[in-house]
Amino acid sequence: MTVFYLVFEVRPSRLNHTHVGGAYVHCWIRRDSDDAIADHLAARLEAEGWAVVSWSQPAPVQREELLADEDALEAFDMAMRDGEALQLHSWIFEGDD
């Protein structure tokens, strides 16, 4: 199996995320092919209260490519072990000016 990497931009779609303006979600997922990966992850994010704004195309990634990035390497290893890993990097809602 291959680990694929992609990034989603999301915005809150539920009231419990009102202090968050949005987020980038870095995703690593272990699959045989990249078929329907984005659809699977988008459904998961939407179920957790996020509206998907955009996403990158899934790209296969090798562990050796990540040796200089400890966080990415940890996520890759988690995806290999558990099937997927998501890292959310959010920003705070600053309101209307």
Q: What is the pLDDT of residues 23-57, one digit of tens each?
A: 999 999 999 999 999 999 999 999 999 999 999 99
Strand, coil or helix: what is 37? helix
User: What is residue 95's predicted lDDT score, i.e. its pLDDT?
Assistant: 62
Q: What angle do CA 11, 80, 28 make, to 5 degrees?
A: 20
Give residue 49's region: left, alpha or beta (phi > 0; psi -120 to 50).
left
Residue 66, pLDDT above cutoff 90 = yes
Residue where the block lists tokens 């995320």: 17
- Domains identified in the chain, total number: 1
User: What is residue 33's predicted lDDT score, i.e. its pLDDT?
Assistant: 93
Average pLDDT, the chain: 91
- Domain assignment present for residue 80? The answer is yes
Give the Cα separation of 70 and 1 in Å (integer): 22
User: What is residue 15's predicted lDDT score, i.e. its pLDDT?
Assistant: 62
User: What is residue 19's predicted lDDT score, i.e. its pLDDT?
Assistant: 79
Q: Which domain holds residue 69?
A: 2-92
- Domain assignment present for residue 97? The answer is no
For residue 87, which of 5, 2, 3, 1 has the smallest C-alpha distance? 5
Q: What is the pLDDT of residues 10-19, one digit of tens each?
A: 999 876 666 7
**DSSP-derived secondary structure letter, 58:** P
Give the Cα separation of 17 and 45 in Å (integer): 13
Q: What angle do CA 88, 14, 21 make, to 5 degrees?
A: 50
User: What is residue 20's predicted lDDT score, i.e. its pLDDT?
Assistant: 84
**Residues 70-77, mean pLDDT to the nearest whole number:** 97
